[in-house]
Amino acid sequence: MREQLVRNLRAAYARLWVRIKGGNREPEWLIAELIIPVLTLSAYVYLYQMLKAPDKYVGFVVVGGTLIAFWVNVLWNMSAQFYWEKETGTLEAYFVAPISRMAILLGIALGGMVNTVIRAVAIFAAGILLFHVPLVITEPWTAALLFLLTIIALYALGMLFASLFLLYGREAWHTANLLQEPVYFLSGSYFPTSSLPFAVQLVASFIPLTFGLDAMRRVIIEGQGFVDIWFDIVALVIFILVLMPLARYALKFMENLSKKEGRLTLRWQ
């Protein structure tokens, strides 16, 4: 039991290490991952300034542009990860090893979080410095807790997607593409979701990022505290509690199904 736990922790740490090492060894990537989000963010800021929108909208955009980096990472580097591992031939090694597949997903998720935090902090700092966004943080610990819960919920969703994508061939790429823009829109990355119709808001409430973004803006731009955003915190905790076991179950189910269908290591389907 203890031996198994140690092995899984080592595997998770090793996968995290690969992700951090791989993600930062070629600085060209780092530059592209910083410049592109800042450009997108700038476009929205200039648009709001041209429309003479209230100043807090600029803050909304900077927070949205920062957190959306995590969604991009979850989608491309987490959800589609098993598909890429299958294509490159490393998936086989994971599934032959005496480790929990969740340990690998955990390592991928933690590595992705660390990498994206580096990028997100840089994007946030650039946004704040370039557009002079006034921050009003009255409860830093609430902000920290909220941020942590948001990214855990997001990566739990990523783990679920990764499990579901296990059976996928090239469709994984298309599905990731299909999910990217609607989530940008529904979660209110560059505008408050309160401006969306009720039915759309209802759909958006199934995305953890929607709660995280909304609460984060209120806490660091509008200076609200725990009592104002407790509902969002509860929602994020529920997301985590539901998504994690669901990811585990989905992974087990998909692994079994792909072994039955012979698609676990079959490439270029």
Partner 1 sequence: MPYSVETREIVRKFKAKENPVIALDKVSLQIEEGEIFGLLGPNGAGKTTLIKILSTLLLPTSGEAYVGGFSIVKEPEKVRRVISLVSGGETPGYGILSTSENLWFFSQLYGLSSSAAKEKIKLLLKDLGFEEYAKTRMSKLSTGYRQRLNLARGLLNDPKILFLDEPTLGLDVLTSKKLRGYIVDWAKRERKGTVLLTTHYMAEADEMCDRVAIIDRGRILACDSPLTMKENLKANVIMKVEVSSVQADFDFMEKMKDVVGYSQTRSIQTDTTTLKVIVRDEATFSKITSKLEQQKLKILSVNKAEPTLEDVYISLVGRGFEEQEAENSA
Residues that bind partner 1 (CB under 8 A): 3, 6-7, 10-11, 13-15, 17-18, 21-22, 25-26, 88-90, 92-99, 256, 259-262, 264-265
* Least distance between partner 1 and beta carbon 11 (Å): 5
Nearer to partner 1, 90 or 205 (CB): 90
Tokens at 184, concatenated:
């940008």
Q: Exposed, middle or buried: residue 116 (CB in 10 Å: 0-12, 13-18, 19+)?
A: buried
Nearer to partner 1, 201 or 265 (CB): 265
* Least distance between partner 1 and beta carbon 98 (Å): 4
* Least distance between partner 1 and beta carbon 167 (Å): 14
Helices and strands counted in the chain (H then E): 11, 0
Nearer to partner 1, 101 or 217 (CB): 101
Nearer to partner 1, 77 or 150 (CB): 77
Output DSSP code: residue 8: H
Instruction: Identify the sign of the CA torsion 213, 188, 105, 249.
Output: positive
* Least distance between partner 1 and beta carbon 103 (Å): 9
Nearest to 233 by CA among 109, 117, 147, 113: 147
Nearer to partner 1, 170 or 259 (CB): 259
Query: H or E element: which one contains 257?
Result: helix 226-261
* Distance separating alpha carbons of residues 30 and 123, to the nearest angstrom: 11
* Least distance between partner 1 and beta carbon 95 (Å): 6
